[in-house]
Amino acid sequence: MIEERRDPFSSRCRRIFIAGRREFVWDCGVIEYLFNPTVLARVAREPAFDTLATRISEIGRTEAEEVDPDMTLKAAASVLNAERGQCLVFDGHVVTPWDVVMKPWKDHGLKVRASK
């Protein structure tokens, strides 16, 4: 289990999908779990408590939004903005806020218009 947790961080993968579902655990969820007052209190009471031995099922999960692959960047950004940590899925692909904003910006394809 510990190796499974280290690998996503070393490969810069921020989400771990639960097999056969649209649910995922993301890095911020892991951090929120580790610094949860209940977990910190348990560590204070039981110094040998291994937080990295925690099962994925005990960490908060989010359900990815399934979308049409022809969705526009603007529509995708709107859906992603609605919930912190959200991602979109279609045809086995995962789309994150990074994909919608940073990749087009880095490729000089993101154009921001001034509001009228």
Q: List, for residues 6-61, the tens digit of each pLDDT value.
A: 444 455 667 777 777 778 787 788 888 889 999 999 999 999 999 888 888 788 88
Angle between helices 27-34 and 2-10 (to 10 degrees): 130
Q: Global pTM? A: 0.58
Q: Are residues 68 and 106 in the same domain?
A: yes
pLDDT at 26: 77
The whole domain housing 82 covers 64-116
102 SS3 class: helix
pLDDT at 20: 74
pLDDT at 44: 94
Q: Say if residue 33 is exposed, middle or buried (CB neighbours under 10 Å; 0-12, 13-18, 19+).
A: middle
pLDDT at 1: 37
Q: Report residue 21: phi and psi, to 5°.
A: -135, 170
Q: Are residues 8 and 56 in the same domain?
A: yes
Q: Are residues 2 and 22 in the same domain?
A: yes
Q: Secondary structure of 11-24 in the HEC alphabet?
A: CCCCEEECCCCCEE
Number of domains in the chain: 2
Q: Are residues 78 and 45 in the same domain?
A: no
Q: Confidence class of residue 102 from pLDDT cuts 50, 70 and 90? A: confident
Indicate the pairing of strand 65-66 with strand 88-90.
parallel
Q: What is the mean pLDDT of the chain?
A: 77
Q: Are residues 74 and 91 in the same domain?
A: yes
Q: Are residues 74 and 49 in the same domain?
A: no
